Chains A and B, each alone.
Chain A
Amino acid sequence: MTSTPQHLPDRSSVDAGDGSVTDAVQAPVLDVDNLTKSYPGEPPVQALRGVNLAIGEGELVGIVGPSGSGKTTLLQLMGTLDRPTSGHVRIGGLDVASMADDDVAYLRATRIGFVFQQFFLAEHATVLDNVADGLLYAGVPLEQRRQRAIDALELVGLAQRRHARPTQLSGGQRQRVAIARALVGQPAVVLADEPTGNLDQATGQSILALIDRLHRTGSTIVVITHDHAIAERMSRKVEILDGQIVADTGPDTGADARRRSPAPLARPAIHAPQAAYGGPVNHEPS
């Protein structure tokens, strides 16, 4: 592990629509290579057994599998919250294995957004500051953090509630705040772990509609779920079972067109549909 400071490739040049960086666009934003993970015990638990997955920019990927299939472990490794037993995780071409812990932390601060089933919002802080905290460890000054948090809240349709406390919001609104917090740093990839798991079905549908809309405006999103119906709605569905990928619908070929659209935070807010998405979706709240 090296402790020398590394320069991350400038992501904005990848996003720039000047056509000269199309080669960079081809490189996956998130790429795992022969990933294994075993937890100590008697006998050791083999959570992942050689996973290969490349996620290109602008993709919306649903990773689906039953409990114990290793999908949460995969999310933890892709999110650099844990280190693999063997194999490589690359975020924007940077191999996490060769980086010091503090550098990985900075990578998370600037390149990865998380959305959790339990939201994890700070009850003592306003919605605005909860979202602004998404940029705290990226070294952005407070005023700038708040300004960008307002932009992110507009994106999820909650800019009007920015001075409210999370306790004053409904479950669906709280998850929108958490999504805004994940988006505020314009990360290369957003990892969502059962984002609808704590919500009723109608609210869950509106969150999924929001995720879909964010995807259409260019965000790269990976949703982990146990629910096949949710995974079906993603443009790419990856099935995982016993620590291995058993099915993959393959990269979304329509992504190129969307990629050229402006970055999501640069355009005016689109109001989120409040009604449930009408469709033959069988979502089980957990």
Chain B
Amino acid sequence: MTAEATLTRKRLQLSDLTRLSTIGLRTRKLRAGLSALGIAIGVAAIVAVLGLSSSSQAGLLNEINQLGTNLLTVSNGQTLTATPAELPTTAPGMIGRIPGVQQVQTTGAVSGADAYRNPYIPSVDTNALTVQAASLDLLPVVATRMARGSFLNAATAREPVAVLGAAAAQRLGIDRIYPGERLWVGGQWFYVAGILKPAVLASTIDSSVLIGYPAAEKYLGFDGHPATVYVRARTDRVDAVDNLLAATANPENPNQVNVSQPSSALVAQADAKSALNGLFLGLGAVALLVGAVGVANIMIISVLERRPEIGLRRALGATRSHIRTQFLSEAVLLGLLGGAVGVGAGVLSTAIYAHTKNWAIVIPTEAWAGGIAASLIIGAVAGLVPALRAARLSPTQALWSV
């Protein structure tokens, strides 16, 4: 002992406190594990729900980014008398001259023409398909590719040749292209040249039978007015182009034009939280609550069981606050243990699911940090009453009532 022994020197060293607070965990491993399990399940549920919804959102946004956010569509609206308006045939050319516009492609609905496998199909069974005239460089603009066969070209656009959207091919029962495959379109055979992959940004194309403009005019009496203009603008000019599109497409009646940005609708969809998330988060919170009760229960029992230890420590010179700190830190440690296991399990399950879906693994900071913080707070709150009880125990009671 040093010569100057003062009464102020009585704080436990951190290493000693760590040793003390793990006594309960080391000596009663199964019990500690089970009581931490409740917290682990709750934290795992919360981390997994937040992680999965973030990962799926990240996956969707990534997909949208790959498709490009600079696609604008111009479509015909309605006139004052609620009949469909027509876009002027000059619209694509005019739009192409707006500064910042990179590509302009169009489709035009061929009215009065329906597509069937053969002439014997009842005419009411249209499969909700539309026949559309399409310009030749449509595919890169709507960010899709051919699944099979080839798209229209300058030659086939003049002939009775059709390309099927993904949904249209499915509804017609055509999944491959072989020579001589044909469709009965508007009272006339059209040869099938290809099938498209789904066009996420332009879903109307999916349920369309696409033919060339010249062929539509020649065989189906199409008037040549585009119904939809697909515009790719420079990314930094998207908003400026957007503002000019209506007036440029139809200078006479700009209010009869609908302008939209398909990717923004998808982003909004990705941002929307699933209603089930709330339910699972609630379940996680309930599990956390049950875990807290479990920890409190185990700590109260522990204090009762360890009365002799508490008494002995008081006899060895522990102050009330030493005892309080020991039991409180044990409870906090129990909570943290559960929280760490829970975060691990939540991250693991998110990683496995995201991997199978090819999503990026995204664990929001608030999910894991919140899970750890919640388990720490739960441990502290649950351990408070038992720790105060342990500290209140008088040494004589603790030592001589066993």
Same complex: yes
Closest chain A residue, CB of each to CB of B402: A118
A7 to B315, CA, bound (A): 20
A82-B394, A116-B399 are known contacts. Are A137 and B313 too (CB-CB below 8 A)? Answer: yes
Interface residues on A, range: 35 or more
What residues of chain B lie closer than 8 Å to A116, measured between beta carbons?
312, 399
B5 with A10: CB separation less than 8 A = yes
Residues of A within 8 A of B (CB): 5-8, 10-13, 72, 76, 79, 81-82, 101-103, 105-110, 114, 116, 118, 120, 122-124, 133-134, 136-139, 141-142, 181, 185-186
Closest chain B residue, CB of each to CB of A125: B23
B395 with A12: CB separation less than 8 A = no
Residues of B within 8 A of A (CB): 1, 3-13, 15-16, 23, 26-27, 308-309, 311-322, 394-396, 399-400, 402
Closest chain A residue, CB of each to CB of B313: A137
A105 to B16, CA, bound (A): 17
A7-B4, A8-B6, A124-B26 are known contacts. Are A109 and B399 too (CB-CB below 8 A)? Answer: no
A81 with B1: CB separation less than 8 A = no
New contact pairs (18) apart from A118-B308, A142-B15, CB-CB < 8 Å:
A5-B7, A7-B5, A7-B7, A8-B6, A10-B5, A11-B5, A82-B395, A106-B9, A106-B319, A108-B315, A108-B316, A110-B1, A114-B316, A116-B312, A120-B308, A137-B322, A138-B317, A139-B10
A5-B6, A5-B8, A10-B5 are known contacts. Are A102 and B396 too (CB-CB below 8 A)? Answer: no
A10 with B309: CB separation less than 8 A = no
B1 with A138: CB separation less than 8 A = yes
B10 with A109: CB separation less than 8 A = yes
B318 with A105: CB separation less than 8 A = yes
B318 with A137: CB separation less than 8 A = yes
A110 with B308: CB separation less than 8 A = no
B13 with A81: CB separation less than 8 A = no
A108 with B317: CB separation less than 8 A = yes
What residues of chain A lie closer than 8 Å to B10, measured between beta carbons?
102, 105-106, 109, 137, 139
Closest chain A residue, CB of each to CB of B26: A124
The winner among B11, B13, B315, B319 for most chain A CB atoms within 10 A is: B315
What residues of chain A lie closer than 8 Å to B4, measured between beta carbons?
7, 10
A105-B10, A137-B10, A139-B9 are known contacts. Are A12 and B3 too (CB-CB below 8 A)? Answer: yes
B8 with A186: CB separation less than 8 A = no
A11 with B8: CB separation less than 8 A = no
CB distance from A117 to the nearest CB of B (A): 10
What residues of chain A lie closer than 8 Å to B6, measured between beta carbons?
5-8
B402 with A8: CB separation less than 8 A = no
A137 with B316: CB separation less than 8 A = yes
A101 with B1: CB separation less than 8 A = no
Closest chain B residue, CB of each to CB of A77: B396
**Top 5 A-B pairs ranked by shortest CB distance?**
A109-B317, A137-B317, A5-B8, A105-B319, A120-B312
Closest chain B residue, CB of each to CB of A72: B400
A222 to B333, CA, bound (A): 41
The winner among B311, B319, B320 for most chain A CB atoms within 10 A is: B319
B7 with A103: CB separation less than 8 A = yes
A186 to B399, CA, bound (A): 22
CB distance from A20 to the nearest CB of B (A): 15
A8 with B7: CB separation less than 8 A = yes
What residues of chain A lie closer than 8 Å to B400, measured between beta carbons?
72, 76
Closest chain B residue, CB of each to CB of A13: B3
B13 with A141: CB separation less than 8 A = yes
A124 to B313, CA, bound (A): 15
A95 to B11, CA, bound (A): 23
What residues of chain A lie closer than 8 Å to B399, measured between beta carbons?
81, 116, 120
B1 with A185: CB separation less than 8 A = yes
What residues of chain A lie closer than 8 Å to B318, measured between beta carbons?
105, 109, 136-137
A134 with B316: CB separation less than 8 A = yes
Closest chain B residue, CB of each to CB of A186: B1
CB distance from B282 to the nearest CB of A (A): 40
CB distance from B315 to the nearest CB of A (A): 5
What residues of chain B lie closer than 8 Å to A185, measured between beta carbons?
1
Closest chain A residue, CB of each to CB of B322: A137
What residues of chain B lie closer than 8 Å to A79, measured between beta carbons?
315
